[in-house]
Amino acid sequence: MILVTGGAGYIGSHTCVELIEAGYDVLVLDNLSNSSRESIHRVEQLTGKSISFIEGDVRNGDILNVLFNTHPIDAVIHFAGLKSVGESCENPIFYYENNIECTLKLIQAMQDAGVKNLVFSSSATVYGDPQRLPLTEDMPLSATNPYGRSKLIIEDMLRDLPNADRLNQAAQPWSVTLLRYFNPVGAHKSGLIGEDPNGIPNNLMPFISQTAIGKRECLSVFGGDYDTVDGTGVRDYIHVVDLAKGHVKAVDKLLSENGIDGVQAFNLGTGHGLSVLELVNAFKDCNQVDVPYQISGRRPGDVAACYADVSRARDELGWQAELGVRDMVKDSWRWQSRNPEGYSDIMM
């Protein structure tokens, strides 16, 4: 059984579908601070399987201990965390408190229970301002905002665990997989689950979809004077279903005979960069909808371009992205147009 913290969220819900389809039993712990119980119902509808769902906070060590004592948990995927860069700059204490304490409580409970297989949701943000592209996992790490720093601190904390295992000659050592996501977009092809941001979206794809459906008047393209193909920012967009499948491969590897030795990081992206305007134009063309936009000033903290070298994930996890930009924009639009208010209509 796999414990999925934050499993009601955007990436977590898609990963639950893929885990269940791969034959794993799933136990979700989520405090629903940025998600809805409805996403779990939809995953159940999609897979035809019921999910053990616990509404609770990962910072609550008592809940964790009960879960480890009452379920045959083999590995944990740890998605739970806060993820808005802007909000983290306004309220860094909140971000450090939530993201770091969740992980501390989780690894303590895992150690106590003797369950030492962990997949952690890291981010390409740990590469800071890229010195060289494409980004490989061994490049220098840095943080440019409190959200990114929380990911970096957690990665560092996790890197200390195998060192302690060696000193303590632990019979059962830690196996930790750090998955560094590039830019997750898209939704399940059923249109039943997708990204449901609170308030005005910070990220590009939900802003495009909400503009296309008329909830937002106009997309601001942040910067038209970068040294890129058309002057707009370039990112490595990855379909969330591909990303979810990457988690299944990571769990398969952790639980296999020749699992992960200590801590290992993997980039999950496509390896290809796409500019803001290329993504906007693909969305318009594939979905035959209009997306009014205007070029505005650069967003502070943005880098010109960021994309992954994905060879380590391909060679060592046997994973690579299969879905392209057409799938990303079509699936995002299907989710948005079928659920204009996200999950919230159902919650009323």
221 binds ligand UFG (CB under 6 A): yes
Q: Decide if residue 79 touches ligand NAD (CB under 6 A).
A: yes
Separation between Cα atoms, residue 324 and residue 335, nearest integer Å: 17
Tell the smallest beta-carbon distance from residue 171 to ligand NAD (Å).
Answer: 30
Q: 10 Å Cβ neighbour count for 72?
A: 9
Choose the binding region for ligand UFG from 21-29, 162-170, 171-179, 203-211 (rule: CB under 6 A): 203-211
Neighbours of 309 (CB within 10 A): 18
Give least dist CB 223 to ligand UFG, A: 6
Q: Quote the tokens at residue 315.
A: 């060679």
With CA atoms as reference, report the closest residue to 272 among 305, 297, 301.
305
Q: Select 8 or 291, whichever has its Cβ closest to ligand NAD.
A: 8
Among this protein's residues, is 10 annotated catalytic? no
Roughly how many angstroms between the first and final C-alpha of the chain, as a whole number? 32
Q: Locate all alpha helices (DSSP H) within the chain, ordered by sequence.
A: 10-21, 37-47, 61-70, 85-90, 92-95, 101-113, 146-168, 204-212, 240-254, 276-287, 311-312, 325-338, 344-347
CA–CA gap between residue 233 and residue 214 (Å, rounded) = 24
Site mask, ligand NAD, residues 27-66, x = CB under 6 A?
---xxxxxx---------------------xxx-------
Distance CA 156, CA 104 (A): 12
Of the pair 191, 201, the CB lying nearest ligand UFG is at 201
- d(CA 134, CA 310) in angstroms, rounded, equals 9
Q: Coil, strand, or helix at residue 206?
A: helix
Tell me which DSSP letter residue 259 carries: -
Closer of 53 and 95 to ligand UFG (Cβ)? 95
Residue 10 sits in the site that holds ligand UFG (CB under 6 A): no
CB of 172 to ligand NAD, least distance (A): 26
List the one residue from 3, 10, 242, 269 that touches ligand NAD (CB under 6 A): 10
Q: Where does this chain bind ligand UFG (CB under 6 A)? A: 83, 85, 123-125, 181-183, 202-204, 207, 219-222, 233, 235, 276, 299, 302
Q: Which residues bind ligand NAD (CB under 6 A)?
A: 6, 8-12, 30-35, 57-59, 79-83, 98, 102, 121, 123, 181, 184
- Catalytic residue positions? 147
